[in-house]
């Protein structure tokens, strides 16, 4: 994560990116099934503010998929877990509180 604010001396967390399911697959080096791709596409939230309970948003920097609830994060984790040994880089799945 990038933290900056030189003028105020405060720490700010800067998150960049708005990855699609296709970009997520490419970055991870995996190919999801059609059902998995459809599930993730239908639950993706393009805006990063106030992520809804059953939605997710994936940042590019840092590479972090933020989910709107713990239950939904578990569903996303279960979709991605079988691919963990094939992923070419780590993805953090987190919860927006």
For residue range 47-85, list pLDDT tens digits in order: 988 999 999 999 988 899 999 999 999 999 999 999 999
pLDDT of residue 17: 78
* pLDDT above 70: percentage of residues in the chain: 82
Q: How far is CA 60 from the centre of its chain?
A: 8
> Which has the higher per-residue pLDDT, 26 or 6?
26
List of E strands, the chain: 2-3, 13-14, 56-59, 64-67, 92-95
Max Cα–Cα distance, the chain, nearest Å: 48
**CA gap 65, 10 in Å, rounded:** 25
Kindly state whether residue 9 falls inside one of the protein's structural domains: no
- The verdict on residue 4 lying in a domain is no
The pLDDT, as a whole number, for residue 4 is 46
Domain that holds residue 75: 16-95
Confidence band, pLDDT 50/70/90 cuts, at residue 5: very low
25 belongs to a structural domain:
yes
């Amino acid at each position: 994560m990038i933290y900056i604010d030189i003028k105020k001396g405060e720490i700010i967390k800067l998150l960049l990116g708005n990855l699609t399911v296709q970009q997520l697959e490419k970055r991870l080096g995996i190919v999801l099934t059609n059902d998995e791709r459809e599930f993730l596409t239908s639950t993706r939230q393009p805006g990063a503010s106030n992520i809804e309970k059953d939605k997710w948003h994936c940042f590019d920097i840092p590479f972090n998929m933020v989910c709107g609830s713990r239950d939904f994060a578990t569903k996303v984790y279960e979709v991605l877990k079988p691919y963990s040994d094939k992923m070419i880089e780590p993805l953090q799945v987190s919860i927006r509180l």
